């Protein structure tokens, strides 16, 4: 259905009717980035048996993008909506039931696409996407809601397409995305791909110049982004690169992170310990012994990620212990689904990790 790369075409971009803050221009390009090769290893700790299992409402997994868990909520979204009042971001609580939803929409829109969603520390929804009008104009945005799901803040990101968002502990928003495609010159517009926003001040900073990632969007190898306690973590699937941006830092750190042969990363989580874990799956082979949960060990000398398998979480999908979904985190817990659970992925498990 889709090609391996997706270009964000630049069409007429107009202001949304009531956007409160417009993003500033990007910061000077930062050229100091670091890369390195891939080098696998074998010690990712041990995953506990489930300390809690909850059967979630099936609507949380209703055919849209893969949900993810953050700050005690499972975040589910609908990619497209074509009328006001249609919920397109939903939050599910620890009991598996929907507790909050938002219908992101703008005046004169004919279509709203939601590219990503996140939760603030106090439980409000942040979402990114684009709003389209009947005349073909498009406006990319990042919005904030209140606890009832009503939009209370919005940023128009202009020539930046905010594909991924996450919320830092200070409630500022980080976004990793793309610049619009310049059809006249057959190339992306210049600009930074990682940006930091505040709903009152607009864009605070920008990092990683566009030439670093010529075409950062891919349907086959998605990019995953998480805001941890001290830094932003991004796994760029199209480029097989892991990126860390400390909140107090000035330069992002880049690591080569090719996945093992036949494997795709479909989940990323950073619990309170600060270690990053990824869910690798072989979409073609259920009997692959190497799929499941992995620790992302960082080789600072080689500037590379080493995929370290987690004991009691890796194996064929016919094994009851194999992790088949990594939804995210809830404090120090990893939130997962396990293979062979009678309820399938709708049965969500909380588990802890310990070192070997």
What average pLDDT does the chain have? Answer: 86
Q: Is the pLDDT of residue 315 over 80?
A: yes
Once rounded to an integer, what is the mean pLDDT over residues 81-109?
Answer: 96
Select the more confidently predicted residue: 188 or 117.
117
What is the per-residue pLDDT across 338-356, written as a single tens digit (0 to 9) for each?
Answer: 999 999 999 999 999 987 6
Q: What percentage of the chain reaches a pLDDT higher than 70?
A: 85
What is the per-residue pLDDT across 135-177, written as a single tens digit (0 to 9) for each?
Answer: 999 999 999 999 999 999 999 999 999 999 999 999 999 999 9
Q: Is the pLDDT of residue 7 over 50?
A: no
Confidence (pLDDT) at 44? 86
Other beta carbons less than 10 A from residue 33's beta carbon: 16
What is the per-residue pLDDT across 34-85, written as a single tens digit (0 to 9) for each?
Answer: 433 333 445 689 998 999 999 999 999 976 789 999 999 999 999 999 999 9
> Nearest 5°: phi and psi at 111?
-155, 135
- 258: three-class secondary structure by DSSP: coil
**Cβ atoms 193, 16 nearer than 8 A:** no
Confidence (pLDDT) at 27? 38
CB contact set of 304 (below 8 Å; sequence gap of 6+): 36, 37, 38, 39, 255, 256, 257, 298
Confidence (pLDDT) at 1? 31
Confidence (pLDDT) at 218? 53
Q: Is the pLDDT of residue 225 over 70?
A: yes
What is the per-residue pLDDT across 298-309, written as a single tens digit (0 to 9) for each?
Answer: 999 999 999 999
Confidence (pLDDT) at 17? 52
Confidence (pLDDT) at 239? 87
Q: Is the pLDDT of residue 285 over 80?
A: yes
Confidence (pLDDT) at 182? 73
**Cβ atoms 234, 214 nearer than 8 A:** no
Q: Is the pLDDT of residue 32 over 50?
A: no
Topology given in CATH for the domain delimited by 21-354: Neuraminidase (2.120.10)
- 58: three-class secondary structure by DSSP: helix
Once rounded to an integer, what is the mean pLDDT over residues 22-27?
Answer: 44
Spell 274-306 as b/e; 16+ CB within 10 A means b.
ebbbbbbbbeeeeebebbbbbbbbbbeeebbbb
């Amino acid at each position: 259905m889709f090609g391996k790369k997706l270009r964000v075409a630049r069409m007429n971009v107009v202001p949304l009717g009531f956007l409160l803050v417009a993003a500033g221009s990007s910061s000077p390009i930062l050229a100091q980035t670091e890369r390195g090769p891939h080098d696998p290893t074998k010690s990712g700790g041990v995953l506990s048996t489930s300390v809690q299992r909850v059967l979630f409402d099936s609507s949380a997994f209703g055919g849209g993008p893969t949900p993810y868990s953050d700050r005690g909520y499972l975040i589910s979204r609908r990619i497209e909506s074509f009328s006001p009042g249609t919920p397109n971001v939903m939050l599910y609580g620890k009991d598996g039931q929907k507790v909050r939803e938002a219908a992101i929409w703008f005046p004169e829109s004919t279509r709203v696409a939601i590219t990503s969603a996140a939760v603030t520390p106090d439980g409000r929804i942040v979402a990114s996407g684009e709003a389209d009008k009947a005349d073909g104009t498009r406006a990319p945005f990042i919005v904030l809601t209140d606890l009832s799901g009503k939009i209370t803040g919005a940023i128009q990101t202009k020539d930046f397409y905010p594909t991924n968002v996450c919320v830092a502990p200070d409630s500022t928003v980080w976004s990793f995305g793309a610049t619009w495609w310049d059809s006249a010159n057959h190339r992306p517009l210049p600009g930074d791909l990682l940006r930091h926003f505040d709903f009152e001040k607009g864009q605070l900073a920008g990092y990683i110049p566009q030439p670093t990632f010529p075409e950062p969007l891919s349907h086959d190898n998605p990019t995953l982004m998480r805001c941890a306690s001290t830094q932003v973590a991004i796994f760029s699937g199209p480029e097989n690169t892991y990126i860390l941006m400390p909140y107090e830092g000035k330069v992002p750190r880049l690591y080569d992170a090719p996945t093992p042969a036949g494997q795709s990363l479909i989940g990323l989580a950073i619990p309170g310990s600060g270690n990053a874990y990824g869910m690798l799956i072989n979409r073609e082979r259920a009997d692959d012994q190497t799929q499941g949960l992995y620790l992302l060990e960082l080789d600072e000398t080689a500037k590379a990620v080493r995929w370290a398998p987690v004991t009691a979480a890796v194996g064929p999908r016919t094994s009851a212990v194999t992790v088949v979904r990594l939804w995210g985190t809830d404090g120090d817990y990893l939130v997962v689904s396990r293979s062979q659970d009678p309820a399938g992925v709708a049965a969500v498990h909380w588990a802890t990790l310990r070192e070997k």
